[in-house]
């Protein structure tokens, strides 16, 4: 091809790319690189989306409900939603939302119950937005009683430090044998009220690892087939579809248990209209369930003494 035609071709091609991709196109080493996604929002950039989500949920919601509502309202792309924090299983966006919740709680805007339900404080229901810098500055201005250390050092006490034991537990679960993991899931289901729980684990059975019956109020029962995956990465929509294919005509519901996480598309696929419903148990939920049932772990409570200076001043 003559050089003139080549020059014209690349000019048109370049113009087309710039028109389509705009600012997301940049040049590096004589190549045009397309940046397809936005950056993951910082925790302080999530303050207002979080408040907006809570208002949309009626003023309160579980962590999962709040996270899903923020993701839905902000329309974050899949690669943002599915990015893991470190080696997982927690998603980075969930980790930063946890920081956002903690900061807003310290700011006095949010409360949380022992059951993990977060709500807008009673006297703050009219608050729709906050100044992120004002929130951060306020929290950083708080001093710990001991040595005037900035409270930011312990800001994770409410929620984020819990990730430490969860990550340790997930790492342990990744080292046990598949058979042992299936027996653990069997035990969890039995402790949770399932009956006739059996581990099958047959090869060529479409990934079905076991079955059980869950009865509600002694009246209605569901046949449930479950699949267990000791995975560090995310379960995809394709994995859910494969599992559902093995369920057809054999169960009322499915249960997919993993030490990893589920992609956004996998979550949508699990609850798709007109298809056999599949409940999902990711690494974080699994570890919390193990903690709730006190299986293989113990909980230690640390006594914390707080001195009331004002009491001594008025004695």
Q: Which residues are paired to 44 by β-bridges?
A: none
Residue range 274-297: mean pLDDT, rounded: 92
Asked if residue 284 lies in contact with residue 309, where contact means CB atoms within 8 angstroms, the answer is no
The winner for highest mean pLDDT among 10-19, 204-213, 286-295, 302-311 is 286-295
Residues 115 and 152 in one domain: yes
- Average pLDDT of the chain is 81
Residues 114 and 201 in one domain: no
The rounded percent of the chain whose pLDDT value lies above 70 is 79
In terms of domains, do 174 and 155 share one?
no
Q: Are residues 138 and 189 in the same domain?
A: no
Same domain as 192, residue 143: no
Answer whether residue 110 is part of any domain: yes
Distance CA 166, CA 63 (A): 16
Residue scoring higher pLDDT (264 or 96): 96
Q: Is the dihedral of CA 95, 98, 100, 103 positive or negative?
A: negative
Confirm whether 181 is domain-assigned: yes
Examine the domain organization and report whether 80 and 8 are in the same domain: no
Contacts of 202 (CB under 8 A, 6+ apart): 208
> Of the candidates 37, 41, 27, 90, which has an alpha carbon nearest to the alpha carbon of residue 63?
90
Q: What is the pLDDT of residue 306?
A: 87
* pLDDT at residue 257 is higher than 90: yes
Q: What is the pLDDT of residues 166-203, one digit of tens each?
A: 888 988 999 999 999 999 999 999 999 999 999 987 65
pLDDT, residue 6, reads 41
**Cα distances (Å, whole numbers) of residue 306 to 111, 133, 143:** 20, 29, 13
CA distance 213 to 234: 27
CATH number of the domain that residue 230 is part of? 3.40.1350.10
37 pLDDT above the threshold of 70: no
Taking 50 as the threshold, does the pLDDT of residue 267 lie above it? yes
Torsion angle, alpha carbons of 134, 139, 141, 146, to 10: 180
DSSP string, 27-85: EETTEEEE--SPPPPPGGGGHHHHHHHHHHTTSEEEHHHHHHHHHHHHT--HHHHT-BS
Report cis status (omega within 30 of 0) of the bond before 263: no
Domain count, the chain: 3
- Supply the pTM of this predicted model: 0.60
Is the domain of 222 the same as that of 269? yes
Residue 307 lies in a domain: no
Query: Looking at the domain assignment, is residue 314 inside a domain?
Result: no
- pLDDT confidence tier of residue 206, bands split at 50, 70 and 90: low
Asked if 18 and 89 sit in the same domain, the reply is: no
What pLDDT shows up at residue 35? 47
Residues 124 and 191 grouped into a single domain: no
Q: Are residues 126 and 207 in the same domain?
A: no
Residues 198 and 286 in one domain: yes
Give CA–CA dist 171/165, Å, rounded. Answer: 10
Q: Are residues 149 and 254 in the same domain?
A: no
pLDDT higher than threshold 90 for residue 308 = no
* Residue 120 placed within a domain: yes
- The pLDDT value recorded for residue 143 is 58
Query: How far apart, in whole angstroms, are the C-alpha atoms of residue 259 and residue 282?
Result: 6
Instruction: Express each pLDDT in 67-101 by its tens digit.
Output: 889 988 998 888 888 888 877 777 899 899 999 99
- Residue 257 included in any domain: yes
Does residue 258 have a pLDDT over 60? yes
Domain that holds residue 141: 43-160
Final residue of a structural domain among 127, 160, 193: 160
In this predicted structure, the answer to whether residue 23 has a pLDDT above a threshold of 70 is no
CA distance 61 to 251: 31
Average pLDDT over every residue of 210-220: 89
> Does residue 228 lie within any of the structural domains?
yes
3: pLDDT confidence band, cut at 50, 70 and 90? very low
Q: Is the pLDDT of residue 110 over 90?
A: yes
Mean pLDDT of 49-71: 90
In terms of Cα–Cα distance, which of 232, 243, 308 is closest to 280? 243
Strand 25-28 and strand 31-34: pairing? antiparallel
Answer whether residue 313 is part of any domain: no
């Amino acid at each position: 091809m003559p050089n003139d035609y080549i020059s014209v071709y690349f000019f048109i091609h370049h113009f087309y790319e710039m028109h389509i991709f705009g600012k997301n196109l940049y040049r590096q080493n004589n190549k045009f690189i397309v940046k397809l996604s936005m950056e993951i929002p910082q925790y302080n950039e999530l303050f207002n989306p979080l408040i907006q989500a809570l208002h949309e949920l009626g003023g309160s919601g579980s962590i999962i409900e709040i996270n899903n509502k923020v993701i839905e309202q902000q329309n974050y792309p899949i690669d943002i939603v599915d990015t893991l924090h470190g080696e997982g299983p927690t998603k980075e966006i969930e980790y930063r939302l946890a920081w956002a919740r903690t900061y807003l709680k310290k700011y006095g805007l949010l409360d949380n119950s022992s059951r993990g339900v977060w709500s807008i404080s009673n006297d703050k229901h009219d608050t729709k937005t906050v100044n992120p810098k004002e929130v951060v500055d306020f929290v950083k201005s708080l001093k710990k009683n001991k040595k005037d250390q900035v409270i930011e050092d312990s800001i994770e006490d409410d929620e984020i430090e819990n990730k430490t034991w969860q990550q340790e537990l997930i790492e342990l679960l990744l080292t046990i044998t598949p058979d042992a993991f299936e027996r653990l899931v069997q035990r969890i289901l039995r402790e949770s009220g399932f009956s006739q729980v059996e581990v099958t684990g047959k090869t060529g059975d479409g990934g079905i690892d076991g079955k059980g019956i869950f009865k509600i109020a002694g009246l209605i029962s569901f046949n449930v087939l479950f699949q267990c995956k000791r995975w560090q990465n995310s379960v995809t929509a394709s994995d859910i579809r494969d599992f559902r294919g093995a369920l057809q005509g054999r169960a009322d519901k499915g249960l997919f248990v993993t030490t990893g996480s589920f992609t956004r598309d996998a979550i949508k696929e699990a609850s798709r209209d007109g298809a056999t419903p599949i409940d999902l148990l990711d690494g974080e939920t699994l570890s919390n369930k193990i903690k709730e049932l006190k299986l293989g772990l113990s909980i230690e409570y640390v006594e914390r003494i707080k001195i009331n200076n004002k009491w001594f001043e008025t004695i």
